């Protein structure tokens, strides 16, 4: 490490102590829900609806991955993929309730309980969005190729997303939109990495219709809510302009093709709490809810 004067640090004079201490007032917009320990903060059972698949989530990119997958399964004729989607309001700490922690000890959305697993046993918990996508793909035999090379390519890109998106969301998105102050060094560092990732996608999509080639797979469903949303200019305020996303023409083509899918339009509505009220379906328990229970209809009922 290069020796630097503490006066050059930000804030000026800052030096890391011998051991980190938790400053509860630090962390920006989400400081109130961040903490350095795991486990529940309160007792709260999870609701259970009428379908075997019970999703506990929020309409963030990670949550949208799973609702897109479920809606795509239903659109493809897999009627057993009917599901209940319960809203987990992370701003109010729902993810730290004892019931949710029992499904996901990491206290992150999305989390799934399958009350009818293939082995016929007790309800099976599934957490981490990529794990949920793979579980559903294998349960229903859909959206994950069986041929070795195509399957491997889909898996490559699925896990690329899991490793890359934290630099976009927790890195660039946090420091660009949510941090309590603008830090040029942090924004520049993560903007550079985000643009590199966008270029990775753009170059790949120049030669491939979808992420795994000619077939639409779980890899597309995982990547689109993060990078497609950014490509449409619908992430982190004006971040699309800042990152000049319109210049990634192949990514724009892929983004538009995915967005045109009716199941994608439905999936991104579920558990959503922002944007147009007509595009928010806070909870989803039946296919008819899209026509009768969006936030605009509930507000005028």
Angle subtended by helix axes 61-75 and 129-140, to nearest 10 = 10
CATH architecture for residues 148-267: Up-down Bundle (1.20)
Predicted confidence (pLDDT) at residue 236 exceeds the cutoff of 70 = yes
Predicted confidence at residue 8, as pLDDT, reads: 85
Mean of pLDDT values over 231-251: 98
The 10s digit of each residue's pLDDT in 153-163 is 999 999 999 99
Predicted confidence at residue 3, as pLDDT, reads: 67
The 10s digit of each residue's pLDDT in 85-100 is 999 999 999 999 999 9
The 10s digit of each residue's pLDDT in 89-142 is 999 999 999 999 999 999 999 999 999 999 999 999 999 999 999 999 999 999
Where are the chain's structural domains?
A: 43-143+271-286+294-301, 148-267
Read off φ and ψ for residue 140, nearest 5 degrees. -105, -5
Question: Three-state secondary structure along 229-240?
Answer: HHHCCCCCCCHH
Predicted confidence (pLDDT) at residue 25 exceeds the cutoff of 80 = no
Predicted confidence (pLDDT) at residue 176 exceeds the cutoff of 70 = yes
Read off φ and ψ for residue 199, nearest 5 degrees. -70, -35
Give the CATH class of 43-143+271-286+294-301. alpha beta
The helix (run of H) or strand (run of E) holding residue 164 is helix 148-166
Angle subtended by helix axes 249-259 and 184-205, to nearest 10 = 80
| Residue 67 Cα distances to 120, 227, 245, angstroms | 24, 17, 25
Instruction: Give the global pTM.
Output: 0.96
């Amino acid at each position: 490490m290069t020796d630097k004067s503490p006066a050059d640090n930000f804030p000026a004079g800052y030096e890391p102590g011998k051991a980190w201490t938790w400053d509860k007032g630090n962390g920006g917009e989400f400081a109130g829900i961040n903490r350095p320990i795991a486990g529940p903060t309160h007792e709260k059972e999870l609701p259970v609806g009428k379908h075997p698949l019970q999703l506990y989530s929020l309409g963030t990119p990670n949550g949208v991955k799973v609702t897109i997958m479920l809606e795509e399964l239903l659109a493809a004729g897999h009627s057993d993929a009917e599901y209940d989607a319960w809203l987990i309001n992370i701003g109010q700490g729902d993810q730290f309730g004892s019931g949710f922690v029992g499904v996901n000890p990491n206290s992150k959305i999305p989390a799934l309980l399958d009350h009818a697993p293939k082995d016929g046993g007790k309800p099976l918990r599934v957490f981490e969005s990529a794990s949920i996508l793979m579980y559903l793909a294998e349960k229903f035999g859909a959206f994950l190729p069986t041929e070795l090379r195509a399957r491997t390519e889909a898996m490559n890109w699925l896990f690329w997303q899991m490793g890359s998106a934290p630099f976009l969301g927790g890195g660039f998105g946090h420091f660009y939109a949510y941090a309590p102050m603008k830090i040029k060094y942090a924004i520049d560092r993560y903007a550079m990495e985000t643009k590199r990732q966008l270029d990775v996608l753009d170059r790949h999509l120049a030669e491939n219709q979808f992420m795994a080639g000619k077939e639409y797979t779980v890899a597309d469903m995982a990547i689109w809510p993060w990078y497609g949303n950014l490509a449409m200019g619908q992430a982190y305020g004006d971040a699309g302009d800042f990152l000049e996303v319109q210049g990634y023409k192949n990514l724009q083509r892929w983004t538009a093709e995915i967005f045109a899918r009716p199941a994608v339009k439905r999936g991104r509505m579920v558990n959503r709490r922002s944007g147009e009220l007509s595009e928010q379906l806070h909870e989803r328990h039946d296919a008819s809810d899209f026509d009768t229970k969006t936030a605009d209809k509930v507000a005028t009922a």
